[in-house]
Amino acid sequence: MPPNFKSHRVGDATITKVEEQELRNVPASFLYPAAEASNITGTDGALREYLEEGGDSFRLSVHTWVVRTPEHLILIDTGSGNDKERPRNPTFHRQSIPFIERLKAVGVHPEHVDFVFNTHLHVDHSGWNTRLEDGKWVPAFPNARYVFPRLECEYYSSADSHNEVNVPSLGVFEDSVAPIIEAGLADFIQPSGGRYLDIFEFIPTPGHSVGHMSIALRSHGETAIFGGDIMHSPVQVYRPDLNTVFCEFQSEASASRLRMLNLLADEDALYLATHFPASSAGVVGRVAEGFSWTYF
Ligand SMILES: [Zn+2]
C-alpha cells in the first residue's frame, strides 16, 4: 500500500491527511457482523489484500482531511479528541494525542482554520471540534465556522439517539457539538444537502447515521468526495451490501453506499475515506461484477 500523508491536488485545492490514530486488529467478525467470514477472509484475493497480516482483521485509520483552497483553510472531520469522557468506549476514553502538534507540523495553526465540516456526529468524527481548557470545552478552532448536518444535531441532542448502536458516541454531542453551537460558531446543512462556499456540495448519504452527509469538492472539472463513514474499508467497494456494526439504519446505509459508488465511478472522482488505512484515498472503477478500488 502507498505511504501515508501525501497530498492530493484537485483543481485549485490541495488535500492532505493528518492522522489522529490507527486502530489495529479490528476483527472482521466484529466490524461486519452480517458477513460470512469466508466472504472476507477466504479465497478472494482482492479482499484479502485489505486485511491485516493475520488475515481476519482490519487496520483502520482515524484522521482529519485538511483542504486548502486559494481562499480558505478547511478541516473535514476531526477525529476523536483528547480528554473526552468515554467510559463505555475505552478506545477513545481520556486520550492524550499530539494531534494539534501534527496539524501545526503541516502548517495548520488552529486560529487560521476558516471552516470545520463534520460528515456526521459520531465519536471519531467530531472530537477535535473542542478542547478542554480550565475544565470547560472550548472551540479548538476559535475563528472557524463549524458546519454540521442539521438532522444529526437534532437527533444526537435528543434522548431518541440513546440506544445500543449509539453507545460508542454517548456524550459526544454534549462535549464536542453543543459548545460550538453555544459559542455561535455553527452553520447547519439541511437534510436535502446543498452547496456550501463555491466549491463544496453536501450530499445526503443517510443510513450509517441519521443525517450522514458526504461532501463533494469540485474545482476546474475535477471532483473529490469525502465519504465519512459510508464505507469503513475497501472491502465495501466490492461488497456494497455489507454494513458495519456502527450503521444504525441498515437498509438506508447500503442504498446510500451503492448510490455513492455509482457517483464516484460516474464522476471519476477521487474518494477520500475516513477509515481506510494507508493513504485513505483512491478511485472506484466499474468491473463486470460491480466496482473495484485502486489506492492513490
Ligand atoms: Zn467513523
Ranking 35-44, 72-81, 88-97, 134-143 by mean pLDDT, the lowest is: 35-44
Closest-CA residue to 205 (of 184, 188, 226, 220): 226
* 242 found inside a domain: yes
What letter represents residue 285's amino acid? G
* 1 found inside a domain: no
| φ/ψ bin of 193: left (φ > 0), alpha (ψ from -120 to 50), beta (otherwise) | left
Distance (Å) of CA 99 to CA 8, 71, 116, 132:
21, 24, 15, 14
Cα 122 to ligand 1 centre (Å): 6
- Sign for the pseudo-dihedral over CA of 127, 14, 149, 59: negative
Average pLDDT in the 99-127 region? Answer: 98
Integer Cα distance of 11 and 13 in angstroms:
6
Cα 275 to ligand 1 centre (Å): 7
Cα 81 to ligand 1 centre (Å): 13
Cα 265 to ligand 1 centre (Å): 23
Cα 231 to ligand 1 centre (Å): 9
* 35 found inside a domain: yes
38: confidence class by pLDDT, cuts 50, 70, 90: low
Specify the 3-state DSSP secondary structure of 105.
helix
Cα 116 to ligand 1 centre (Å): 16
CATH number at residue 76: 3.60.15.10
Average pLDDT in the 89-116 region? Answer: 97
Residue 50: which residues within 8 A CB-CB, separation 6 or more?
58, 233, 234, 235
In the numeric block, the cell 460470512 is attached to 36
Structure letter (DSSP) for residue 131: E
State yes or no: pLDDT of 37 exceeds 90: no
Cα 200 to ligand 1 centre (Å): 21
29 Cα distance to chain centroid: 21
CB neighbour class for 124 (10 Å; exposed up to 12, middle 13-18, buried from 19): buried
**C-alpha radius of gyration, the chain, whole number:** 18
Closest-CA residue to 65 (of 74, 56, 57, 53): 74
* 32 found inside a domain: yes
3: confidence class by pLDDT, cuts 50, 70, 90: very low
pLDDT at 43: 59
- Sign for the pseudo-dihedral over CA of 67, 114, 116, 198: negative
pLDDT at 175: 98
pLDDT tens digits, 155-204: 999 999 999 999 999 999 999 999 999 999 999 999 999 999 999 999 99
Give the domain range for residue 37: 7-295
The average confidence (pLDDT) of the chain is 94
Residue 249: which residues within 8 A CB-CB, separation 6 or more?
206, 207, 208, 209, 210
Cα 218 to ligand 1 centre (Å): 24
Cα 85 to ligand 1 centre (Å): 18
pLDDT tens digits, 205-258: 999 999 999 999 999 999 999 999 999 999 999 999 999 999 999 999 999 999
pLDDT tens digits, 134-168: 999 999 999 999 999 999 999 999 999 999 999 99
Number of structural domains (the chain) is 1
Integer Cα distance of 230 and 227 in angstroms:
6
* 2 found inside a domain: no
Cα 120 to ligand 1 centre (Å): 9
Cα 274 to ligand 1 centre (Å): 7
